[in-house]
Chains A and B, each alone.
Chain A
Amino acid sequence: MRDLQNEHHMKALGLQVAAAGYDRQGVADHANNLATKIRNNLTNSMKALGVDILTGVGSILGPHKVQYGKLDSPGNIVTAKDIIIATGSVPFVPKGIEVDGKTVITSDHALKLESVPDWIAIVGSGYIGLEFSDVYTALGSEVTFIEALDQLMPGFDPEIGKLAQRVLINPRKIDYHTGVFATKITPAKNGKPVTIELIDAKTKEPKDILEVDAALIATGRAPFTDGLGLDSVHVERKRGFVPVDERMRVLDFKGDPVPHLYCIGDANGKMMLAHAASAQGISVVEQLTGRDHVLNHLSIPAACFTHPEISMVGLTEPQAREKAEKEGFEVSVAKTSFKANTKALAENEGEGLAKLIYRPDNGEILGVHIFGLHAADLIHEASNAIALGTRIQDIKLAVHAHPTLSEVIDELFKSAKVKAHASGPIVNEPVAV
């Protein structure tokens, strides 16, 4: 929608597009149908693999024993050799915020897109809030961010965050309030708009009152772990999260792993991303089938699906420098702009930055951050390298097709200055052709 209406962009490409419009219901239906389709595909896949699906609320009765059934009724009891908790999370709604599902919504409601408000306030400027601001501004809404910390997009590498702000926020119909909490949000009723009371995050003094058409609460996700019966195995939750070790084994209050009990995904809070949950699940299954496995979370990439996309793997620059100081090594940074990439220029999407944080002494990759077209796809070269322990000097001579966006990553590797020389082949002998 945003591309079609970007007259300037189209003209530069030599295209003319008549008035682009959208049908809200159509957009909403597409999203919902997609969700349903994927859910059905998943269910069918599981059935095809011979998985039995028992529906109900589950809780642990003791080692190897699980009870499931409708809420508050006795239900059935099953036994199992190993138990994996994967109950996930729900949107977290801070105290004082009244959600009515229509004018004050969470991401769950927003995905249904029941309406497109003229002016929506988004509480929280992390990747969820950012993605929704991208959607709403493309559909014509104006957005106000409410962020408790002093910086927008606090979780991102600061340099990327600054550029992202310049591209994703400043030119769009978005403004923001930082360093404030929304203490009270009242839904719209009786002809009054949604009111949001803001207080200073540090001094707690009242700061402002906003009157908007809708508010989206994007302050994070809370683990869904009530009623799991963890007491029966002497496990204490930490702020709702189930404590686990690096092998995803659930730890009891003494810190010892509970045998045959694992927890993966959002419920353990280690890395609240879908693919991280999958990876953790795979790690557990490897262990259950006799192969020990420890998942390296630093090799798991993350992406923010705005336009242009943001992606990252590993440490941010401040984190890398902090580690460097503690452990006594040097940190270098290589950067390249998408403006230098032929494919990006051809698409007239030269706005973007890629950044490689590495150790110049041994060529270890500490982190890669990308902001630009298809960033979410491009990151995997870097995340693979980190997962395999590949050093820059070993990967810099690899060839990338031209013209592709992957040359941005190539440029990063090639411009890095590493003192160590390329070591011999790590795993297999490369075949000379």
Chain B
Amino acid sequence: MASSPFLSQIPINNKTISFSSSLSPAFPFPPSTLSRRKRNPNALRVQAKIREIFMPALSSTMTEGKIVSWIKSEGDVLSKGESVVVVESDKADMDVETFYDGILAAIVVPEGETAPVGAPIGLLAETEEEIAEAKAKAASKAGGSSSPATPISPPATSTPVPAAISQPPPAPAAPEGPRKTTATPFAKKLAKQHKVDINKVVGTGPYGRITPADVEAAAGIAVSKPSVSPASPAAAAAPVKPVASSSAPPPLPGSNVVPFTSMQAAVSKNMVESLSVPTFRVGYPLTSDALDALYEKVKPKGVTMTALLAKAAAMALVQHPVVNASCKDGKSFTYNSNINIAVAVAINGGLITPVLQDADKLDLYLLSKKWKELVEKARAKQLQPQDYNSGTFTLSNLGMFGVDRFDAILPPGQARGYHGCWSIKTNCGG
């Protein structure tokens, strides 16, 4: 403990230290006090002073200290010998007492902050009138209003919760008559911390009490993470619900808003749902000479490329049944007994995927015939549910549009079925 000739009054076995004269040997008296004295040398009565409370040196090696907590708050009356603030040293936390009576006018260094030894950490006013003066002094020292220290808020959950956009507090319906304002303990703490006058806050809690959220709204702080609440049994790996966009950007001037048709709405919904499905993409260059040759041979007989691809896929699936399986619950494969290839087809205003059932069992010509029928029905909007719901494997072909690569979108209801996406480029080098 640094000793100083000015502190001889302190009993040795008392571990608290008085601070108002600085302990560092550099300056014996606080300069402001000196200058005050000089200014009024002839005053007969004792001039009321604003004293600075300094960061004490709690050990000979201490150069700066951290304020652990302010025992007294601004506006509290202090009497000589009372503990005012707790300062952390490398050994332990020490209570620091005031050497003077007075009122704690301003806290210059808030809790959690550090200050060098000898720096002012608070201001002590002798009378009430000086408090305003002291506060102004504190403000100029801190360079603007003191920023709230890191809130000592109780631990919150760690899931990222979108910060609710804080709305301006509703125009308070002034409570009739002199109603007593009840505020919860945490609301009171927050009010003190953020310097909100608790009596002016409108309470929205049960029985009209002021909740922490009310205080935060009054202070203009966005309500952050939610406090503890009993969690409902967490659903395991539930698919993400389509997130309704909360604050969408305002429409540009001159734009026209047209609502979705039900087909478009369905497609949009499905596209969003497909985002929750894990996907895996692989590309593989093929030379399609053999395919081209076969196609030339069967084309005159009414076989389309679609049918060819469907058949090829089906035959591959016979050999690799797991690719034909689906996973509905995240824990097991559901092997399908049929190989039903659904092929995406564009129809007026949208998209549908008619299904070629048992594509492995039908021959190429039958498959083509079936496919033609399905497309006609689709275009006429006469497809039955089992015509488009029963797919186990989906095929998309955009080659006719000159597309050479694309990622298909998995239609829903196939419960994470695997699907292939091929792009076939004609005339590929040979």
Contacts and interface: CB of A to CB of B under 8 A. Distances in A.
A173 B228 contact: no
A19 B186 contact: no
B299 interface: no
A193 B154 contact: no
A22 B156 CA distance: 14
A209 B152 CA distance: 28
A5 interface: yes
A142 B92 contact: no
Contact of A209 (B154, B180, B189, B209): B180
Contacts of A10: 158
B157 A119 contact: no
Contacts, number: 93
Nearest to B161: A19
B185 A142 contact: yes
B340 to A, nearest CB: 40
A272 interface: no
Interface string B7-22: 0000000000000000
Given A143-B185, A192-B207, A18 B154 contact: no
Contact of B182 (A16, A21, A172, A211): A211
Contacts of A142: 184-186
A5 B92 contact: no
Contact of A6 (B93, B155, B159, B205): B155
B227 interface: yes
Given A24-B230, A118-B206, A166-B69, A19 B159 contact: yes
B85 to A, nearest CB: 12
Interface string A16-43: 1111111110000000000000000000
Interface in B111-168: 152, 154-159
B155 A173 contact: no
B182 A210 contact: yes
A339 interface: yes
A211 B158 contact: no
Contacts of B207: 192-193, 211
Contacts of A353: 92
A18 B209 CA distance: 32
Interface string A162-184: 11001000111111000000000
Nearest to A169: B185
A211 B209 contact: yes
Contacts of A340: 91
Contact of B92 (A24, A170, A339): A339
Residue in A166, A173, A174 with the greatest tally of chain B CB atoms within 10 Å: A173
A173 B233 contact: no
B190 to A, nearest CB: 10
A359 B167 CA distance: 64
A116 B69 CA distance: 30
B257 interface: no
Contacts of B182: 210-211
Nearest to A353: B92
A403 interface: no
Interface in B230-264: 230-234
Given A142-B185, A213-B206, A173 B154 contact: yes
A390 interface: no
B185 A17 contact: no
Contacts of B157: 5, 19-21
A337 interface: yes
Interface string A136-168: 011110111000000000000000001100100
A170 B229 contact: no
B231 A22 contact: yes
Contacts of B206: 118, 193, 213
Contacts of B155: 2, 5-9
B86 interface: yes
Interface in B326-353: none
Contacts of B188: 175
Contacts of A119: 184-185, 209
Interface residues of B, number: 34
Contacts of A19: 157-159, 231
Contacts of A221: none
Contacts of A17: 158
Given A213-B206, A339-B92, A1 B228 contact: yes
B158 A140 contact: no
A341 B281 CA distance: 55
A10 B91 CA distance: 25
A255 B86 CA distance: 51
A313 to B, nearest CB: 22
A335 interface: yes
Nearest to B183: A175
Contact of B154 (A22, A137, A175): A137
A16 B158 contact: yes
A339 to B, nearest CB: 7
Given A137-B154, A211-B209, A213-B206, A21 B159 contact: no
Contacts of A16: 158
B229 A140 contact: yes
B92 A337 contact: yes
A174 B187 CA distance: 10
Given A5-B155, A19-B158, A337-B92, A174 B231 contact: no
A353 B157 CA distance: 29
Interface string B202-240: 000111010010000000000000011111111000000
A166 B158 contact: no
A18 B91 CA distance: 35
Residue in A118, A163, A174 with the greatest tally of chain B CB atoms within 10 Å: A118
Residue in B69, B91, B184, B231 with the greatest tally of chain A CB atoms within 10 Å: B184
Nearest to A193: B207
A21 B231 contact: yes
A175 B69 contact: no
Contacts of B156: 5, 7
Interface in A256-303: none
Residue in B152, B156, B186, B206 with the greatest tally of chain A CB atoms within 10 Å: B186
Contacts of A118: 184, 205-206
B97 to A, nearest CB: 13
A21 B69 contact: no
A118 B230 CA distance: 12
A21 B209 CA distance: 26
Nearest to B186: A173
13 contacts: A2-B155, A7-B158, A19-B231, A20-B231, A22-B228, A23-B230, A116-B230, A144-B185, A192-B207, A211-B182, A211-B209, A213-B206, A340-B91
Minimum-distance CB pairs A-B, first 4: A21-B231, A140-B228, A173-B186, A175-B185
Given A7-B158, A139-B228, 15 more contacts: A5-B155, A5-B228, A7-B155, A19-B157, A21-B228, A22-B228, A22-B231, A23-B230, A118-B184, A118-B205, A140-B229, A142-B185, A143-B185, A173-B189, A337-B92
